[in-house]
Amino acid sequence: MPHFGQKFYLWTILLAAFFTILAIVGCGVVIGGSTRFDREAKSVVKIIIETANGASNTIQNTTSAMKDMISNLEASRGYGNGIEETSGTLTSTSQELDAQAANIQWQANKNRLLIHKGLNIMYIVTMVTISLNLGAVIAMSVFGILRLQRLFHLFILHCWFLTVLCWIFFGLYLFLNNFSSDTCTALEMFQENPNNNSLSSILPCEQLLTAKSVLTDVSSEIYDLVNQVNTQISVSYPDIALVCNPFSQPPYYEYQPQNCAANTIHIGDIPKVLKLLTCSDESNGGCENGQFMSNFEYKTVEAYTNSIQDFLNVYPGMESLVECQTVKDAFSKILEDHCKPLEKYACMVWAGLVFVSIVMVCLVLIWTIRANIDQKLHHFDGSVQPNSSIPKMMEMANH
C-alpha cells in the first residue's frame, strides 16, 4: 500500500500540474477576449448613440432655421401672397420635427445608459469570476500538494462552484455571439430596407420621412423666390449680378449649390451687395446715386436672407437624414470595422470558457479522487496495528 500511495501521489501531482497550467492559459484567453469584446461592444454603442445625437442636432438646427424664417415671414405680411399658409406649414412642421428630435435624443440617452450598465456589469462579473477561479485553482493545487486537508477540501468545493459559474457564463457569451451575428445580419438588411427592420426603433428613418415633403416644399418656395428676385433684377437693375438658385428645376428641386455660375451671387451674400445700395442717412436725404433701398428694408431683407442661408447650411444634413443616408453610413462603419471583431471576441470568450470549464472538471475530479484515496489510506493506516496479531496468537496457544 505505501508503494501504491506514493505512485498515485506522484501521478496526481503531475496530472494536477498539467491541468492547472491549462486552466491558467484558458483563464488568460477568457480575460483577453472579454476585454476586447467589451471594448468593441462599447465602440458600436458609441457610434449608434453619436449618430442618434447627430440626427437630433441636425433636426434642431433645421427647426431653428425654420423658426427664423417664420419670424421673418410674419414681419413681411402684406408683401406677398400665401405668407400665412407658408408660415403655418413651417410652424406645424417645426413643432413636429422638434418632438421627433427630443424623442430620438431621449431614446438614445436611455439606451446608452442601459447598455453601458449591462456591459459594465457583465465585464466586471466575468473578470471577478475568472480571477477567483484562477486563484482557487492555484490555491487548491498548493493545499493538495502540502496535504492541508481542511483547506484542500474547502477549495475543492469552491472550485466546483466556480466551474458551474463558468458553464453559465459560457451560455451567456454563446448567446451574445449569436446575438452579435444576428445584429450584424440586421444591419445588412437595414442597408437594403431601412423602413422595415428591427433596428428602425433605434433610429427611426420611417418617422423622419415625413420631413421629406416639407423639405421639398421649402425648396420650391426658395426656388420660386430666387426666380422672382432674378426677374426683378433683370428688368429693373440689369447691371446687378443675378442670385444663384441653389435648387434644380421642378419637380425634384435638388440642392445643387456647386452648379452656381461664377458671375452669380449666393443667397448668403445678398446683404453684402444690397449694403452698397442702401441709403446711409435717410433723414438728411443722404442717398447717393444708385442707392434705392431704405435701411429698414435692408434689415428686413438681411434677416430673411440670413435665415434662408441658415436653412441651406443644414439642408444637406437634413436631406441625408430623411434619406436615411446618415444612419446607413453609421451602420456601414459598424459592419466594416466592428462586426467581425465583435463576433470573433465573443467566440473567443465562450470557447475559452468551455475550455476552462472542461479543464476545471478534470482538475477537480483528480483532486477529489486524490482526497478520497488519501482519506481511505489514512483510515487504513490508523485502523491496522502492525503487532496486534502476536498477542492474539499467544492467547490462542494458551487455550
pLDDT tens digits, residue range 316-369?
A: 888 888 777 888 888 889 988 998 999 999 999 999 999 999 998 888 888 887
pLDDT at 399 over 60: no
In a domain, 240, yes or no: no
Q: What is the pLDDT of residues 63-81, one digit of tens each?
A: 887 777 777 666 655 444 4
- For residue 392, what pLDDT band results from cuts at 50, 70 and 90? very low
Residue 305 lies in a domain: no
CB 205 within 8 A of CB 324: yes
Whole-number percent of the chain with pLDDT over 90: 14
Is the pLDDT higher at 41 or at 318?
A: 41
All cell numbers assigned to 267: 443667397
The grid coordinates of residue 386 equal 502492525
| Crossing angle between the packed helical segments 83-146 and 210-236, to the nearest 10 degrees | 140
- Is the confidence at residue 390, as pLDDT, over 60? no
Cα 386–Cα 389–Cα 390 angle in degrees, nearest 5: 105
With CA atoms as reference, report the closest residue to 161 among 134, 133, 181. Answer: 133
Looking at residue 378, its pLDDT comes to 55
Phi and psi at residue 49, to the nearest 5°? -70, -40
Residue 281 sits at the vertex; the CA angle it makes with 278 and 286, to the nearest 5 degrees, is 90
Cell numbers placing 375: 482519506
Dihedrals phi, psi of 30, to nearest 5 degrees: -65, -45
Considering only CA atoms, which of 69, 79, 66 is closest in space to residue 296? Answer: 79
Q: How far is CA 129 from the centre of its chain?
A: 26
| Cβ contact 139:159 at 8 Å | no
Our measurement of the distance from residue 328's CA atom to the centroid of its chain's CA atoms, rounded to an integer in Å, reads 14
Across-strand partners of 40? none
Q: Would you say residue 238 lies in a domain? A: no
- Let me know: does 209 contact 96? Beta carbons within 8 Å: no
The structural domain count of the chain equals 1
Does 287 fall in a domain? no
Cis check for the bond before 204: say yes or no (omega within 30 of 0). no
The H-or-E segment that residue 300 falls in is helix 295-322
Per-residue pLDDT tens over the stretch 2-17: 455 567 677 778 888 8
* Distances, alpha carbon 73 to alpha carbons 76, 83, 86, 212, 348, in Å: 5, 6, 8, 22, 62
Cα gap 317→86, rounded to integer Å = 22
- Which residue(s) pair with 345 in the sheet? none
Residue 219 pLDDT level (bands cut at 50, 70, 90): confident
Q: How far is CA 361 from the centre of its chain?
A: 38
Main-chain dihedrals φ then ψ at residue 265, nearest 5 degrees = -105, 135
What residue type is 251 in one-letter code? P
Range with top average pLDDT, 197-201, 280-284, 287-291, 295-299? 295-299
Helix axes 2-75, 325-337, angle to 10 degrees: 160
What confidence category does residue 39 fall into, taking pLDDT thresholds of 50, 70 and 90? very high
Q: Which residues contact 127 (CB under 8 A, 6 or more apart)?
A: 31, 34
CB 140 within 8 A of CB 151: no
Instruction: Classify residue 237: in a domain, yes or no.
Output: no
* Reported confidence tier of residue 287, pLDDT bands at 50, 70, 90: low
Q: Is 61 a domain residue?
A: yes
Q: In the Cβ-directed half-sphere of 87, how many Cα atoms lie within 13 Å? A: 14
Domain holding 158, by residue range, is 2-210+325-383
125 found inside a domain: yes
Asked whether residue 366 is domain-assigned, the answer is yes
Does the structure show a pLDDT above 90 at 50? no
Instruction: Confirm if 359 and 23 have CB atoms less than 8 A apart.
Output: yes
More confident residue, 105 or 162: 162
Sign of CA dihedral 20, 22, 26, 29: positive
0.75 exceeded by pTM: no
Q: What is the mean pLDDT of the chain?
A: 78
The pLDDT of residue 90 is above 60? yes
Other residues' Cβ atoms within 10 Å of the Cβ of residue 265: 19
Which range among 92-101, 188-197, 331-340, 384-393 shows the weakest confidence by mean pLDDT? 384-393
- Point out the least confidently predicted range of 29-33, 54-58, 338-342, 372-376: 372-376
Decide if 189 contacts 181 (C-beta within 8 A). Answer: no
What's the grid cell of residue 141? 493545487
Q: Indicate the pLDDT class of residue 394, thresholds 50, 70 and 90.
A: very low
Amino acid, single-letter form, for residue 295: N
